[in-house]
Chains A and B, each alone.
Chain A
Amino acid sequence: MTAQAELEREETETMTVREAIREALREELARDEDVYIMGEDVGAFGGVLEVTGDLYEEFGEERVRDTPIAEAGYVGAATGAAATGTRPVIELMFSDFIGVSMEQIMNQMAKMRYMFGGKTEIPVTVRATEGGGMGAASQHSGTVHAWISHFPGLKAVAPGTAAAAKGLTKAAIRSNDPVFVFENKMIYEQQGDVPTDEDYIVPIGEAAVEREGEDVTVVATQRLVGESLDVADRLAGDVSVEVIDPRSLYPLDTETIAESLRKTGRMVVADETPLSYGTHAEIITRAQEEAFFSLDAPIQRVGTPDTHMPFSTPLEQEVLPDGEGVENAIRRIT
C-alpha cells in the first residue's frame, strides 16, 4: 500500500517530526505504566534535541528520568531493567555516543535472549539522532545505523516522515525486542500528516511507497526521503520516479523493494551511511537476489564517500549525500 493510501484511512493532524515523536512517547507513557524514559537532560530541560519537551511536567521525574553522563551505564541498566519486567526508552542523544555504550549493546542487549534459550525478553527502545548538516563536526554527525542493523539480535528503524516517526516510535516501544530508532537531526522540523489514533503504529518491517513511478525506483532513508521526493517532482514528465522509504532497516521489507524493481528495472539507493560495507550494499544485494532478471542497469548508490563528517560548511556539503546526488544517480541509469 502506498503511504498516501495508508494515511487516507486515518484521521490526521499536521505536525513536525519532533512533535510526532513526542506524541508517540506521550501516548505510550500514558498507555503503559511500565514504560519510562531515561537519558541526559531529558527531564526538566526538555532534552538537548527538544524532543522530550514537556513530558517531564506531565509524567514526573521517575518516568522521565535524567541520568548522569554514563552511556555504558544506563544503556546497560536499561538492558537489565528490560530483562526484569520494565520497558525503558533510552534517549542516547547523538548516535555517535553509541560508541560509548557499544559493549552493552552488542554483547548483552543483542545476545541475551538467544543465549538464554529464548527465555528472556528485552523490550528496550533506544532513540538516537544521526546525520550531518549542522556543522556539528565528526563526533556529533555520524550516521551509524548500519552497525546496529548489521548486528544480529537488534532491530533498527529510521523514519523519513512525521507519520513514520510516530508510528515507528510506538511500534518500537511496544516491541518485546531491542529496537533502535534513528532520527535524522535535519528533519526534526519537517512537517507531515500524522494519524491521531492512539493505536496507530507502523509495523516494524514494512516499507512505504511514498510516491509511485514507472522508470526508476529510489529507495531512500531519513532526510533523503524528502529530498528524493523533491527530485521526483523536478523530474516529473521526464523520468517517472518511484520513491520508497524502507522505514525499517532491520528487518527490511525486501518484497516491497523487489516488487518495485520488477516494475521499473532500475534502482538507486540513497542513505547517509558511509558507502563501504553498509546499508546500501544490503538493500542492493537483497533486491538483486529477488529481481535480478528485471534489472536494466547497474543499481546506483548515494551515500557518504567513506569520510567522517567534516566541520567546515563547504566540506560538509561536499560529502553529505543529497538530492543532487540522487538526481545524478538517476541520470546515470535512465
Chain B
Amino acid sequence: MEDYTLDTEDGRLEALRRMLTIREFDTKAGEYFADGEIPGFVHLYIGEEAVGVGTCAALEPDDYITSTHRGHGHCIAKGLDTKLMMAELFGKRSGYCNGKGGSMHIADVDAGMLGANGIVGAGPPLATGAALSIDYQDRDQVALAFLGDGAVAQGQVHEAVNMASTWDLPAIFLVENNKYGEATPVEKQHNVKQLSDTAQAYDIPGVTVDGMDVTAVTEAVEEARKRARAGDGPTMIEAETYRYNGHYEGDEQNYRDEEEVAQWKERDAIESFKERLLDRGELTEAEFGELQAEVEDEIADAVEYAQNSDLPEPEEAYEDMFSESVPEVEQFASRLRTDGGSSRGDSQ
C-alpha cells in the first residue's frame, strides 16, 4: 500500500488525487444507484473528503481503521482498490466481499480496513480491540475509529473510549461531525457544545479541527498517533465537516436549507487545497486538469470492471459462514430447492 504524507510535495499531490478520487467514486456510485444498477443503500462521502484523506495521510500503511456506513471515502483514503470497491457496490463476485457485503460492509482486513459498518457506533469497540492486539504484541501500529457525530450518543462508544483510555491503548477516535445524524441536527442529539469536550470524561486530549482543511486534520492525527505510540493512550479528534448529499441517496433533505449547503460548499476542501497547491507553485491548472482526467479514467475503469464482472452464483450464498462447513446449511439449502425425493423425511 502506497504511503503518503502531507509533508512532501508528492504526498500533497497524492492527497489531492485521493480527495478527487473519493468525489468521483461517490458521484458515480450515486448515479448508478439512481439508475438501479447498485442495489440496497448508499451513503455518500462527498464534502467530507479532507477528513478521510487527512487522517489516513497521518497514518502508516499498516495501521488499522474502522469505518462507518459512510465508508467509501475511508476506503479510498486508506488505499483500497476502487475496482474491487465498485464491484462490491454492484454486488459482484469480484468485489471485496464477494458480493456478500455491499456498500455498508466493504472491508479489507489485510490492508488494515476493518470494515464499513451498518451499526452506528459499532466501530469504536473494534478499534479498541485492534489497539489491544497491537499493545499485546508490542507492534508499531495504531488503530483509529471513524465515527459520526450521531454515533457519539451510543453506549458502546463510551465503553470503547473508556477502556482504551484506562488501558492507555494506541487508539484514536475520530469523530466526523457533519452536523447531522440522518435528519436530526447535532444540537438535538447532544448536550455538549463541542463533541470533543466528551474527551474530558476519559481524561484524554480532545481537539476540534476544521474538517474542511486537510492539513489541519492531518496535523491533529499525527499528534494523536505520536501520543498513542508513546504509550500515552488515545486522543479524541472532532473534525467539523459537512455532507453535501442527503443522508442516503433518495433523501429529500427537508430538514436543511439550500443556503446552509451552499455556505459549506463555499469552503469546499478540495477547492481550497487545490488553491493552496497552486499558490505554492506545486500544481498548475493544466496539471490539475490532468489529475482530474486520470481520476475520471480510474473510476470509469472501476465501473467498467464492476459491470463486466460476474454476479455470484446463487449457491455461493452458502459459503463463508464458518471455517469448516456445517451440515445444517447444506441440508436446509437442498431442502429449500427440492420438491421430492430423499428430503421427504424417513417416515413416508
Residues of A within 8 A of B (CB): 40-41, 44-45, 48, 66, 68-73, 96-97, 99-100, 134-140, 275-276, 297-298, 302-303, 305-308, 310-319, 321, 325, 327-329, 331-333
Contact = CB atoms under 8 A, between A and B. Distances in A.
A310 B317 CA distance: 7
B182 A314 contact: no
A69 B154 contact: yes
A100 B118 contact: no
B11 interface: no
A69 B119 contact: no
Interface in B316-344: 316-318, 321, 326, 328-329, 332-333, 336-340, 343-344
B40 interface: yes
A203 B150 CA distance: 38
B120 interface: yes
Contact of B119 (A100, A134, A315): A100
B39 interface: yes
A316 B318 CA distance: 11
Contacts of A313: 39, 91, 311
A325 B184 contact: no
Interface string B117-128: 111110000000
25 contacts: A40-B182, A40-B184, A48-B182, A68-B153, A68-B184, A69-B120, A70-B155, A96-B119, A134-B39, A135-B40, A297-B348, A302-B336, A303-B332, A305-B328, A305-B332, A305-B333, A306-B332, A311-B39, A311-B40, A311-B97, A311-B101, A313-B91, A314-B312, A315-B91, A332-B340
A298 B345 CA distance: 6
A68 B311 contact: no
B182 A317 contact: no
Contacts of B337: 328
B182 A41 contact: yes
Given A305-B332, A311-B91, A315-B312, A137 B344 contact: no
Interface in B279-301: none
A99 B305 CA distance: 36
A312 B91 contact: yes
A135 B183 contact: no
A66 B184 contact: yes
A40 B254 CA distance: 16
Contacts of B41: 136, 140
Contacts of A319: 317-318, 333
A307 B118 contact: no
A112 B249 CA distance: 42
A134 B120 CA distance: 20
Contact of A306 (B156, B314, B328, B340): B328
A306 B154 contact: no
A333 B344 contact: yes
Contacts of B97: 311
B311 A321 contact: no
B336 A134 contact: no
B138 interface: no
Given A97-B119, A332-B340, A134 B40 contact: yes
Contacts of A328: 336-339
Given A69-B121, A100-B155, A136-B41, 16 more contacts: A44-B254, A48-B182, A68-B189, A69-B150, A100-B154, A100-B156, A138-B118, A139-B118, A275-B328, A305-B329, A305-B336, A306-B332, A308-B321, A311-B101, A315-B99, A325-B336
Contacts of B190: 68
A291 B39 CA distance: 45
B311 A314 contact: yes
B100 A311 contact: yes
Contacts of A318: 314-315, 317
A321 B336 CA distance: 8
Contacts of A135: 39-40, 91, 102
Contacts of B92: 312
Nearest to B334: A305
Nearest to A48: B182
A72 B150 CA distance: 14
A66 B184 CA distance: 8
Closest 6 CB pairs of A and B: A139-B118, A135-B39, A312-B91, A312-B99, A298-B345, A311-B102
A31 to B, nearest CB: 28
B311 A312 contact: yes
Contacts of A297: 344-345, 347-348
B75 to A, nearest CB: 16
B181 interface: yes
B151 interface: yes
B133 to A, nearest CB: 23
B189 A69 contact: yes
B72 to A, nearest CB: 15
Contacts of A68: 150, 153, 181, 184, 188-190
Contacts of A70: 153-155
A44 B99 contact: no
Contacts of A40: 181-182, 184
Nearest to B181: A69
A306 B321 contact: yes
Given A307-B318, A315-B314, A139 B105 contact: yes
A298 B348 CA distance: 8
